[in-house]
C-alpha cells in the first residue's frame, strides 16, 4: 500500500463519512457550579452556545452516563459525554514512500495533506489509522506508531516504531534536543516571505519561547510568547511558556520568496511556523501565523496553503548505529541555480 511517494501519484482516499465518536470530559474544580452549556461553549469554541444547545435538545449529550436534554449546573467530578454523530472527513493522500523498515523502526516520506493522528475533524483519515489497516494482519504490538508529529500540510520524514520501548526513547529524543546531549538533527525546508535581515548562507539562532493564547475559533493557539499579536490576546489568561530553539538559514532568494533551511532543537507545536513568523519570515500561504507574532482570528492551525518539508534526519540512533535520512523535497522547495538575487 505504501511504497510510492504520494506527492507523485493522484491516489486519494475520497471524502466519506466515519462512524462518529464519543467524547468524554470529567469536570474539574474550575467547572464547579457552572452550567453544562457554559462549560461546553467555553471549552470547545469550535461550536457556539446555540449549537451545543441544539445537541442537548437532540439527546447527543449525557451526564454521568444518563441522557440529558435540559441545561443545569454541574459539579466537580461530573462526567459529560458527547455522542458525536458520523461526519464527513476530507479526502487525503492514500500513499507514501517508505525509506527504511527494519521490522521495528519505520521511516516514511509523509505527503502533505495527510494528518498523522486524529484531531481537527479527522478520525479515520489519518496516518495512524492507515498504518493499522496496512499491518492489520500483524498483532497490535507489531503495528508501527508515529514517535513524533508533523502538521497535516507538512511533508517529509516521519519516524514510526513498533516496539513500545523504541517509541518511548525516540519520542523523548524528538521532543527536546536542546540539552546538547543528543546529536540528532531534524532539518526542514520552507518557502517564506522575503526578509531583508537574512543573509545568504548565514545562520541565525531563534530562541523565542512558545505559549498558548486565546483564539475565537478554536479556544487557544500556540504562538510566540510575550508577543502582542492583536486583539486576540487576553492578558487575564496566563499559560506556561515552552522553551524553543531553531536555527534558520537562507538558501536562496528569488523575486517573490526566500528558500530557507530550518534546524530545530526542540519539537514544540507549530514551532517553525511560529519562529519564522516572529522574525518576519512568515511562510508563504500560512493563513494563521503572520509577520511579527500576529495571529489571524479568521484562520486555524489546520489550514494549509504553505510549503514546509521535513527534509533531513541526521544521527538518529537505530540499533548500534547512528543513521541519516533524506526525503526528496517538493519541486518548489528544491534549490535552483541562478535564483539568488
> What is the spatial distance between Cα 311 and Cα 300, in angstroms, rounded to a whole number?
25
Residues 121/52, Cβ–Cβ less than 8 Å: no
Distance CA 161, CA 171 (A): 10
| Cell representation of residue 229 | 499579536
Q: Cα–Cα distance between 263 and 240 in angstroms, integer? A: 24
CA nearest neighbour of 22 among 66, 69, 86, 76: 86
Mean pLDDT for the chain? Answer: 89
> Quick one: pLDDT band at residue 3, thresholds 50, 70, 90?
very low
Percent of the chain with pLDDT over 90: 76
Are 249 and 195 contacting, i.e. CB atoms less than 8 angstroms apart? no
Q: In the block, which residue shows the cell 508515529?
A: 146
Closest C-alpha among 233, 231, 235, 207 to residue 222: 233
How confident is the model at residue 10, as a pLDDT?
A: 46
Q: Which residues contact residue 230 at a Cβ distance below 8 angstroms, ignoring those fewer than 6 apart?
A: 294, 295, 297
Closest to 74 measured CA to CA, from 60, 62, 58: 62
Cell (9 digits) for 328: 526528496
Alpha carbons 243 and 221: distance in angstroms, whole number: 16
With a cut of 80, say whether residue 181 has pLDDT above it. Answer: no
Summarize pLDDT for 62-121 with one digit per residue, the tens: 999 999 999 999 999 999 999 999 999 999 999 999 999 999 999 999 999 999 999 889
* pLDDT tens readout for residues 104-156: 999 999 999 999 999 889 999 999 999 999 988 767 678 999 999 999 999 99
Is 289:303 a contact under the CB 8 Å cutoff?
Answer: no
Query: Which three cell numbers, joined as nine digits, stand for 55?
Result: 445537541
297 pLDDT exceeds 50? yes
Q: Measured between alpha carbons, how far is residue 199 from residues 138, 250, 262 in Å? A: 51, 6, 14
User: Per-residue pLDDT averaged across 38-51, rounded?
Assistant: 89
Q: What is the DSSP string of 48-104?
A: -HHHHHHHHHTT-EEETTEE--S--B--TT-EEEEEEPP-EEPPEE---EEEEESSS
User: Whole-angstrom Cα distance, residue 96 to residue 104?
Assistant: 18
Q: Quote the cell numbers at residue 330.
A: 517538493
Q: Is the pLDDT of residue 44 over 80?
A: yes
Q: Report the pLDDT value the prediction gives residue 6, as an integer from 0 to 100.
A: 38
d(C-alpha 325, C-alpha 159), whole Å: 11
CA 12 to mean position of chain CA atoms? 21
pTM of the model: 0.86
In 3-state terms, what secondary structure has residue 75? coil
pLDDT reported for residue 136:
81
CA distances in angstroms from 315 to 66, 175, 326, 328, listed in the order given: 53, 15, 12, 18
Domains within the chain, CATH numbers bracketed:
6-15+90-175 (3.30.2350.10), 21-85 (3.10.290.10), 189-308 (3.30.2350.10)
Angle of helix 36-43 relative to helix 49-57, nearest 10 degrees, comes to: 130
What is the reported pLDDT for 141? 72
Give the Cα separation of 56 and 40 in Å (integer).
Answer: 11
Find out whether 158 and 310 touch, Cβ atoms under 8 Å.
yes
What is the pLDDT, as a whole number, of residue 9? 42
Please list, residue by residue across 269-295, b when 16 or more beta carbons sit within 10 angstroms of its beta carbon and e when fewer do.
Answer: bbbbbbbbbbbbbbbbebebbbeebbb
Read off the pLDDT of residues 279-291 as tens digits, 9 standing for 90 and up: 999 999 999 999 9
Give Cα 232 to chain centroid, integer Å.
Answer: 21
Answer for the pair 297, 215: CB distance below 8 angstroms, yes or no: yes
Amino acid at each position: 500500500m505504501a511504497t510510492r511517494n504520494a506527492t507523485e501519484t493522484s491516489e486519494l482516499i475520497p471524502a466519506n463519512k466515519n462512524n462518529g465518536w464519543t467524547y468524554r470530559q470529567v469536570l474539574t474544580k474550575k467547572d464547579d457550579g457552572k452550567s453544562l452549556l457554559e462549560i461546553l461553549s467555553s471549552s470547545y469554541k469550535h461550536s457556539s452556545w446555540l449549537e451545543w444547545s441544539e445537541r442537548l435538545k437532540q439527546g447527543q449529550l449525557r451526564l454521568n452516563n444518563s441522557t440529558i436534554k435540559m441545561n443545569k449546573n454541574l459539579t466537580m467530578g461530573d462526567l459529560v459525554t458527547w455522542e458525536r454523530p458520523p461526519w464527513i472527513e476530507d479526502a487525503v493522500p492514500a500513499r507514501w514512500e517508505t525509506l527504511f523498515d527494519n521490522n521495528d523502526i519505520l521511516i516514511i516520506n509523509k505527503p502533505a495533506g495527510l494528518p498523522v493522528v486524529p484531531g481537527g475533524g479527522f478520525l479515520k483519515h489519518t496516518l495512524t489509522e492507515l498504518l493499522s489497516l496496512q499491518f492489520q494482519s500483524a498483532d497490535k504490538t507489531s503495528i508501527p506508531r508515529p514517535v513524533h508529529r508533523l502538521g497535516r500540510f507538512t511533508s517529509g520524514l516521519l519516524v514510526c516504531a513498533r516496539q513500545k520501548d523504541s517509541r518511548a526513547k525516540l519520542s523523548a529524543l524528538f521532543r527536546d534536543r536542546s540539552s546538547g546531549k543528543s546529536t540528532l538533527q531534524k532539518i526542514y525546508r520552507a518557502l517564506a516571505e522575503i526578509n531583508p535581515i537574512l543573509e545568504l548562507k548565514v545562520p541565525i539562532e531563534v530562541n523565542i519561547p512558545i505559549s498558548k493564547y486565546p483564539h475565537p475559533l478554536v479556544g487557544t493557539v500556540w504562538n510566540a510568547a510575550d508577543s502582542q499579536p492583536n486583539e486576540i490576546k487576553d492578558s487575564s489568561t496566563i499559560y506556561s511558556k515552552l522553551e524553543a530553539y531553531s536555527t534558520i538559514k537562507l538558501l536562496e532568494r528569488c523575486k517573490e520568496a526566500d528558500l530557507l533551511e530550518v534546524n530545530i532543537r526542540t519539537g514544540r507545536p507549530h514551532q517553525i511556523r511560529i519562529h519564522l513568523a516572529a522574525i518576519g519570515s512568515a511562510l508563504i500561504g500560512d493563513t494563521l501565523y503572520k509577520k511579527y507574532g500576529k495571529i489571524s482570528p479568521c484562520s486555524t492551525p489546520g489550514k494549509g496553503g504553505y510549503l514546509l518539508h521535513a527534509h533531513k534526519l541526521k544521527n538518529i540512533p537505530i540499533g548500534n548505529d547512528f543513521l541519516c535520512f533524506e526525503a526528496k523535497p517538493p519541486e518548489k522547495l528544491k534549490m535552483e541555480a541562478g535564483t539568488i538575487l
